[in-house]
Amino acid sequence: MLQAENLTRRYGTHLALDNLNLTISPGEIYCLLGSNGAGKSTTINIFLGFLPATSGRALIDGLEVAVNNHATRNLVAYIPEIVNLYPTLTGLENLAFFSGLSGFRYSRPELADFTCTAGLQPEALDQRVSGYSKGMRQKVGIAIALAKQAKVLFLDEPTSGLDPHASNEFAQVIRRLSEQGVCTLMATHDLLMAKELGHRIGIMHQGRLRQELRADQVDYAELTNLYLATVNQPA
């Protein structure tokens, strides 16, 4: 579903992403770990078509992002740390607007159904988003992904700043989407979340993918040790 082939991105002489090769299957949750500046957001931004690669290819469902930008954008949903919504519109209006951009027109009960699946309380639907908490905004982000029928989810530190309850709710929804075949690439600094939610974990350091492992084959302490050993490696 997602493929990076020798994906490389330079900023001048600085190598932000160095020859990344990665394949993620439908239904798989892949968590990217790495210290600040490791290249996680760069990877996601190339897949989203926000940033061109210097060389190599990013493919979504077999389509190369650089040459099928419009088509690939319709396959994906993006949830960053703070979901960008129109503050003066309600949650439901935001959902109708953003799903409409992808050509979907839903009735009010259908929209309400997506927000319910995403875990938003019914009483919040008609409140302006300016009064929403971070967790509520994340839920609207998930509802947009559901309404867009996204096949791939890109999450960039989505649980950063969420309380443990909100974080746990978020993980449950992502897990349910995965069971329905949605492929997820999540950049995170939360090792426990990566271990609990991810099927596979990649550890990046200085633009390179240094380690790949199956989440069920390490415990939290082993993952922490491997992470620290990887990000403390010299260049």
Contacts with ligand ATP by CB under 6 A lie at 11, 14, 16, 34, 36-42, 187
Minimum distance from CB of 68 to ligand ATP (Å)? Answer: 23
Cβ proximity to ligand ATP, 34 vs 135, nearer residue: 34
Minimum distance from CB of 141 to ligand ATP (Å)? Answer: 18
Cβ proximity to ligand ATP, 9 vs 151, nearer residue: 9
Cβ proximity to ligand ATP, 72 vs 188, nearer residue: 188
Cβ proximity to ligand ATP, 11 vs 97, nearer residue: 11
Q: What does the chain look like in DSSP terms, one character per residue?
A: -EEEEEEEEEETTEEEEEEEEEEE-TT-EEEEE--TTSSHHHHHHHHTTSS--SEEEEEETTEETTT-HHHHHHHEEEE-SS----TTSBHHHHHHHHHHHTT----HHHHHHHHHHTT--GGGTTSBGGG--HHHHHHHHHHHHHHTT-SEEEEESTTTT--HHHHHHHHHHHHHHHHTT-EEEEE-S-HHHHHHH-SEEEEEETTEEEEEEEGGGS-HHHHHHHHHHHHTS--
Cβ proximity to ligand ATP, 50 vs 104, nearer residue: 50
Minimum distance from CB of 63 to ligand ATP (Å)? Answer: 23
Minimum distance from CB of 96 to ligand ATP (Å)? Answer: 31
Minimum distance from CB of 223 to ligand ATP (Å)? Answer: 17
